[in-house]
Amino acid sequence: MSTESSIELIEQDTLPGADFEGYLHGSTVSVMFERFDRDGVGPRLHRHPYTETFVLRSGRALFRVGDDEVVAVGGQILVAPAGTPHKFTVIGPEVYEALHVHANDRFVTEWLE
């Protein structure tokens, strides 16, 4: 039995742009830590060659995934399938906080607008 530890503990505030890119740490996923405190903000339409999972902690946003639109709120999880165009817009008044989990060790984004 090995007594060496392979644990890597990372301070979130040391991450560039508060984004965790897995390949830098031997992980197969990447995570964006999002926080928006005003209405109307969010990314332009884009897609990834892998699944993106949105874990909403608080607030709410209008998501467009493919041809569908839905309002997601804190406590819900939304999945955008690989290759599907998607975007969201924060619709407050609560602060939007979420983890955006990218099923890839690097962020790969194709901007569509």
Confidence of residue 3 (pLDDT cuts 50, 70, 90): low
Of residues 51 and 4, which shows the higher confidence score?
A: 51
Task: Tell me if 18 is assigned to some domain.
Answer: no
In a domain, 55, yes or no: yes
Range of 55's domain? 31-108
Q: Which residues pair with 86 in a beta bridge?
A: 46, 65
Residues 6+ apart with CB under 8 A from 24: none
Residue 40 belongs to domain with CATH number:
2.60.120.10
Amino acid (1-letter code) at residue 109:
T
DSSP-derived letter for residue 24 is: G
Q: Does residue 49 sit within a domain?
A: yes
Task: Judge whether 25 lies within some domain.
Answer: no
pLDDT digits over 33-71, tens only?
Answer: 999 999 999 999 999 999 999 999 999 999 999 999 999
Number of domains comprising the chain:
1
